[in-house]
Amino acid sequence: MPTDIPANAARIVVIDDEPQLRRLLDISLRAQGYKVALAASGNEGLQLLATQGADLVVLDIGLPDIDGHEVLRDLRGWSHVPVLMLSVRADEVEKVAALDAGANDYVTKPFGTQELMARIRVLLRQHGNSAEENVVFDDGRLYIDLAQREVRIDGERLALGRKEYSLLALLLKNSGRVLTQPQILRELWGSPHLQDTHYVRVLVGKLRQKIGDDATEPRWIATEPGIGLRFIGKPGSGF
């Protein structure tokens, strides 16, 4: 096992609630020369990814707090990092659901360590030349850095909930474009909630309150009546 891992080595975050598997993957990945960070729950993994980033994520579907599908939906709201899903379920429906939600690959437990390492190498090669999208918005009042997962108002850092941040990131990445309510529901809650339009109303209300945006005279988030939402802020506009 390498004792000195290069500073530019790929960083892999493993999110799995099985201690033995985390230890196995930690040892195996470090033996291949990767940097490794471990998380035992979905929220812990998202916090790691938000604060420290990653070149690849190994994500178990069965987690104790929020399942892997929800972690993936949240992550895809602000990151394109490659994700390899793990699950004890081998049925095709489960695999298709994970891939449709934005997973890059899927491995069924139990798996061979060498096969997993090979799949990780393939994903890293495929995504090695595509740096994490670094979207920054700053108009003098509202500051958003998607790579750092940081939001500030007048220099003061805001504590946004996961869904609040995911909505803001989704709107910013589609700045100027109207996102329909079904599109937002699918991205943030998944296809089973496409009729739950009140979710969007409640969430955007909370987000507007935190960033100080007036729905009647919006500075950043505009409502298109009967359609959806649009990010209208202009970087550098100031007052």
Please report which helix (H) or strand (E) contains residue 229, including its range: strand 228-231
In CATH terms, 136-231 corresponds, of 3.40.50.1000, 3.30.1390.10, 1.10.10.10, 3.40.50.150, to 1.10.10.10
pLDDT band at 149 (very low <50, low <70, confident <90, very high): confident
Quick one: tokens of 145? 């850095």
Residue 41: per-residue pLDDT: 96
pTM of the predicted model over 0.85: no
Residue 182 pLDDT:
87
Confidence of residue 47 (pLDDT cuts 50, 70, 90): confident
* Dihedral sign from CA coordinates of 174, 183, 43, 116: negative
Higher pLDDT, 43 or 129: 43
Whole-angstrom CA distances from 170 to 41, 114, 156, 177 are: 24, 36, 22, 11
Instruction: Give the burial string for 209-234 (b: 16+ CB within 10 Å, else e).
Output: ebbebeeeebbbbbbeeeebbbbebe
| Rounded Cα–Cα distance for residues 198 and 206 (Å) | 12
pLDDT value of residue 236 = 58
pLDDT digit string (tens) for 66-103? 999 999 988 887 788 899 999 887 677 778 878 878 89
So what's the pLDDT on residue 238?
42
Locate 113 and state its tokens. 């360590």
pLDDT > 60? residue 33: yes
Among 104-108, 128-132, 165-169, the range scoring the smallest mean pLDDT is: 128-132
Residues of the chain above pLDDT 70, percent:
93
- All CATH 1.10.10.10 domain ranges in the chain, comma separated: 136-231
CATH among 1.10.12.10, 3.40.50.300, 3.40.50.2300, 1.10.10.10 for 11-127: 3.40.50.2300
Order the strands of the 83-87 sheet from edge to edge.
35-39, 11-15, 56-60, 83-87, 105-108
Pseudo-torsion of CA 65, 71, 73, 75, nearest 10°? 140
Give dist(CA 85, CA 104) in Å, integer: 8
Tokens for 35? 């940097």
Question: Does pLDDT of 58 surpass 60?
Answer: yes
Domain span(s) for CATH 3.40.50.2300 in the chain: 11-127
Reported as a pLDDT band with limits 50, 70 and 90, residue 134 is low
Confidence check: pLDDT of 1 > 60: no
The predicted structure's pLDDT at residue 79? 81
User: Which residue did the predictor score with more confidence, 179 or 25?
Assistant: 25
Q: What is the per-residue pLDDT for 194?
A: 82
